[in-house]
Amino acid sequence: MCPVLGHLTGRLESADIDAEHRIAVLYQEFGGPLLRHVRKSTGNDLQWAEDVVQETLVRAWRHSARLQWEPSLIWAWLLTVARRIVIDGRRRKSVRPHEVEPPEVDMLAVPDSSERALSAIVVAEALRSLSEEHREVIEQTYLRDRTISEAAEILGIPPGTVKSRLYYGIRALRVLLQDKGVAG
Amino acid sequence: MHEGVAAYVLGVLDEEEVEEFERHLDTCARCQAELKEMADIPSRLDDLKHSAAASEDDPPPMSMSR
């Protein structure tokens, strides 16, 4: 083998080991919490949640520069990555209606259901305290699984306005939830 | 650009917008800080979404819009 190629192969191998190590560390650090988190949004579908976690960590590994961030920022970012994967999956399922089946009810796996019901009441109350403009954009985007562009069309306002109102609306919502003790 | 952080956290941006925002996020300390602050909001909204949308065929999650 020519020396240059040999050198390159060596570097690639060590890069692979590094990559494998990083992904193992990612699983170790974030795999468990991420799975618990994702299960809530997959309607407790464990298989789907596991796929989402795996895809999330693979994408994270592809953006390894972000893995130099502090852990709380990595975590916040991983949640956004996982959420997009779940939303994409849900959209795909909803265009194939025969695949939409009620999630298996597994009471043992959802010990926090009463906690969530309580949180739902608090969140609904907080949303009601927002201005009409702010509440409307939160409802027309996230709560109805719509993108900014789709909501803009329905509301008849520019996408930039939806984005901006969503920003101030979410900030206001966060303050309200913090006051009620349900947001960090 | 900073205002995109809420839409980004909620996952309601188009794919190209996500990439654009992430490029911004890589270098913007303010958006990184807000990302952390807002990270918990979607799951709080999910609590509402799932409790109200127990039946899959009726997605509107609440009846507060006029």
pLDDT over 60 at B56, yes or no:
no
Count CB neighbours of A65 within 10 A.
7
Is residue B58 pLDDT above 70, yes or no? no
pLDDT of residue A174 exceeding 90, the answer is: yes
Residue B64 located in a structural domain = no
pLDDT score of A76 more than 50? yes
Spell out the residues 6+ positions from residue A131 whose beta carbon is closer than 8 angstroms to its own: A169, A172
- Provide the pLDDT confidence category of residue A116 given band limits of 50, 70 and 90: confident
Tokens of A16: 């692979």
Within 8 A by CB and 6+ apart from B25, the residues are A77, B5, B8, B31, B32, B35
Interchain CB contact of B1 with A (< 8 Å): no
Chain B residues in contact with A41 by the CB 8 A cut-off are 43, 46
User: pLDDT-based confidence at A97, cuts 50/70/90?
Assistant: low
Query: Would B66 be classed as within a structural domain?
Result: no
The closest alpha carbon to A77, from B33, B17, B44, B47, belongs to B33
Residue B11's domain comprises 4-43
**Where do we find the tokens 């403009």?**
A133
Q: For the complex shown, is ipTM > 0.90?
A: no
Please, are residues A89 and A52 in contact by the beta-carbon 8 Å criterion?
yes
Output the furthest CA–CA distance in chain A (Å, rounded): 71
CB–CB of A123/A172 below 8 Å? no
Residue A18: the pLDDT is 74
Number of domains into which chain B is organized? 1
CB distance B37–A174 less than 8 Å? yes
Residue B54 lies in a domain: no
Return the amino acid letter for A66.
R
Mean pLDDT of A42-70: 90
Size of interface A-B (CB pairs under 8 A): 134
Residue-range domains of chain A with CATH: 3-97 (1.10.1740), 112-179 (1.10.10.10)
Q: Which residues of B touch A119 (CB under 8 A)?
A: 44, 47-48
Contact (CB<8Å) B3/A141: no
